[in-house]
Chain A
Amino acid sequence: MKGTSQHFRKSAIGGLVLGLTGFLAGYAQAACELKLGVVGTLSGPAAQWGLALKGAVDLVAAEYNAEGGVPVGSEKCRVAVSAFDGKYTAEGAAAGANALVSQGVKFIIGPIGSPEMTGLKPIAARNNLLVMGNGYAKNAIGPQWPLVFHNGPGPSGWADPIVKVAKAKFGIKKVVVVAPNDQGGTDIASVDAVAYKNNGIEAIEEYYQRGTSNFQPIVTRIINMQPDAVDTASSPPGDTGTMAKQLRQAGFQGPIGHLGGPGTEEIARIAGGIDVLKTFYWYEPIVVDEKIQELAAAYKKAFNTDRPESNLFFQWVGAARMVVKAISKAGTITDTQKVAEALRSLPVEDPNLGKGLWIGQEFFGINQELSFPFGIGTIIDGKMQPIVKQPAATGK
């Protein structure tokens, strides 16, 4: 009887130990959480771009979570997203990065604009964060920031082919490139201006104070320069819409470009419709075909609402997927150096976006810029034209 009792006790203890081990193993597995930080403009004139970024990362997290998580070594880690409004400012993005660091985040998707990139990079460098951002500044990425990647090419990649098309379609001989007078404006407008000049078009750069709400005086100044076209470069959609409306009210008949970022729907809303835009051309980061539409459907299915309006959403899905693939390949959710190495070695390929390239060596001195096929959008005589697909920009 005593032997039976001892045997029972041993069995019970053994069972408890096994159970505890299993519980701890299960707990450890459940505790594996990959935190993706998002820093983007979630309010203000450029909110459309930030909402696209956040929506994309939410979708990628939902995709992996539906499969039980991201395979990392022998584990599957659930993906959690933590977002912060960078307000399109350096200080906002820096505050966001600091807040994410305090939450244990090692990977940041975003930010959106050059001012945000400028503010975020020092925090990222200090804390060894891997960043997949999107500023179009001339120093957005570089050899001094080996953990900072670019989710898509800036104007150095796509301005030249768009200018060639605009020149052929509209016969532009003189253009005024207008943008805000901070790094988010000057770095893009100056690259756009070089692209125009390289194509034999006289280009004048004109800058305004960010926060300007009434552009009538600047519009008057631009019209007095008698340009054939006005390129609003990286001016946010809110500013571009007001400027386009006031340019048309002031009698400007030429084409208006927006070689800086998408947002044509919002621009048209503010201007008063696409008939007010009349003749318009812009950089479209992604050409929405059937494969791309699958992402919109997936978003609708996952969140029961339409995907964010800006087509940057699709580009961000590709970028976020690349980062998560690299994490999985590297087999770590903490060693960002190892993940960066894995990311650099991954071929640029996405089931929805197609095949692309790693570029950036020539312009930035580092080959860490994702380049997928892009599009050129045009409105002619107030009618939206089909987006023309272009091969992935080579940056040369």
Chain B
Amino acid sequence: MNEFISAGLIGVSLGAQYALLALGFTLIFGILGVVNFAHGGFYVAGGYIAYGFVSHLGVPYVIAVLLATLATGAIGYLFELFLVERIVEDHLATLMLTLGLYLTMSTGVLVAFGPESPQFQFPISGSLQIGKFHLPIENIVVLSICLLAIATVYLLMYKTDFGRALRALADDRQVAAAQGLRPRLLFPLAFGVACGLAGLTGALVTPILSLAPHVGDPVLATSFLIVILGGLGSIGGATIAAFLVGLVEAYSSVYLGGSKGALALFVLVLIVLVVRPSGLFGREVRGA
């Protein structure tokens, strides 16, 4: 029973981190129709920017996380404004462009910081012991921030004019534009918010795992898997799928082992896609 509860807690914690990543990924696809292959790069950039502020400039970790979020958001904003926007209608070109950005970012980090992992630790350490459980405090803090960030994204998307405008553009760009909404103004902002979410996750998660130039690779794969499972472009689908993946990963790894656990996850995704090819909550996201 202890094992079961422990795996559940790990699954929720993983799910929250995955949700934060997947939300950014699905926002960009849902609103712009762009598959952002640079998403893992923004995760890595978030981690290294926070590390740079903390280790080289002595900035407190909390401020460094905020700065990393803003910096990655700004990079995303500028990238969309000056590069993606020109070819936003060409899906293949945007795919290659974002892939190129990812390679540039990861190589840039490699050149600037070297290939080895630096010492980047979460400022709070220790574990809460409840019976036989050991719950790392840093995981609880990261889980809380992730949940808060997810709630903020929901408020932004469903309770503000900005969110309503973005969702209108996602539903039907031409009709929304005819109503006076300006994609050239809103798309860079949406891209910036999504990249900021990836940067925030990187700044929060890399100190509790590890930071290295390559850590964006599995992030991209996981985000992609979650977004496909939840339904491309669906914010609610991505969130639910993220927690589902986190729980499946935790339970299958604990009870079946690391190899079979990974297999179980992919089999689950395969079954879901056979039964529902558009994902759990998928729909026609781009009417135009």
The total of chain B residues at the interface (CB under 8 A) is: 43
Q: Is the CB of B253 within 8 A of A217?
A: yes
A23 at the interface (CB under 8 A from B): no
B18 CB, nearest partner CB in chain A, Å: 10
Q: Within B248-288, which residues are at the interface with A (CB < 8 Å)?
A: 249-255, 257-259, 261-262
**From A246, A250, A272, contact of B121 by CB (8 A):** A272
Contacts of A212 in B (CB 8 A): 218, 258, 262
Q: Is the CB of A249 within 8 A of B119?
A: no
Contacts of A214 in B (CB 8 A): 14, 17, 209
Q: Within B10-57, which residues are at the interface with A (CB < 8 Å)?
A: 10-11, 13-14, 17
Contacts of A211 in B (CB 8 A): 217-218, 221
A300 CB, nearest partner CB in chain B, Å: 18
**From A209, A238, A250, A273, contact of B117 by CB (8 A):** A238
Given contacts A47-B116, A224-B3, A269-B117, contact A209 B10 (CB under 8 A): no
Q: Is the CB of B210 within 8 A of A270?
A: yes
Interface of B is mostly: helix
Q: Within A278-297, which residues are at the interface with B (CB < 8 Å)?
A: none
Contacts of B255 in A (CB 8 A): 221
A65 at the interface (CB under 8 A from B): no
Q: Is the CB of B115 within 8 A of A44?
A: yes
Q: Is the CB of A45 within 8 A of B212?
A: yes
Interface centre among A42, A217, A241, A251 (most CB of B within 10 A): A217
Interface centre among A206, A208, A214, A246 (most CB of B within 10 A): A214
Q: Is the CB of A221 within 8 A of B254?
A: yes
Q: Is the CB of B259 within 8 A of A44?
A: no
Q: Is the CB of B218 within 8 A of A213?
A: yes
**From A44, A206, A238, A272, contact of B258 by CB (8 A):** A206
Q: Is the CB of B116 within 8 A of A44?
A: no
Contacts of A181 in B (CB 8 A): 258-259
Q: In the complex the two chains form, what is the Cα distance from A48 to B3 in whole Å? A: 36
A309 at the interface (CB under 8 A from B): yes
Q: Within B139-182, which residues are at the interface with A (CB < 8 Å)?
A: 139
The total of chain A residues at the interface (CB under 8 A) is: 36
B86 at the interface (CB under 8 A from A): no
Q: Is the CB of A266 within 8 A of B116?
A: yes
Q: Is the CB of A216 within 8 A of B117?
A: no
B75 at the interface (CB under 8 A from A): no
A376 CB, nearest partner CB in chain B, Å: 24
Q: Is the CB of A269 within 8 A of B258?
A: no
Contacts of A51 in B (CB 8 A): 115-116
Q: Is the CB of A217 within 8 A of B250?
A: yes
Contacts of B134 in A (CB 8 A): 249-251
B215 at the interface (CB under 8 A from A): yes
| A–B pairs, 17, beta carbons within 8 Å | A48-B116, A211-B221, A213-B209, A216-B10, A216-B14, A217-B14, A217-B251, A220-B3, A220-B6, A220-B253, A221-B257, A238-B212, A241-B117, A266-B117, A269-B118, A272-B119, A309-B116
6 more contacts with CB within 8 A, not counting A44-B115, A270-B117, are A47-B115, A207-B259, A209-B259, A216-B139, A217-B251, A221-B258
Q: Which 9 A-B pairs have CB atoms at the shortest separation, nearest pair first?
A: A208-B258, A217-B253, A47-B115, A209-B262, A269-B119, A251-B134, A249-B136, A181-B259, A217-B250
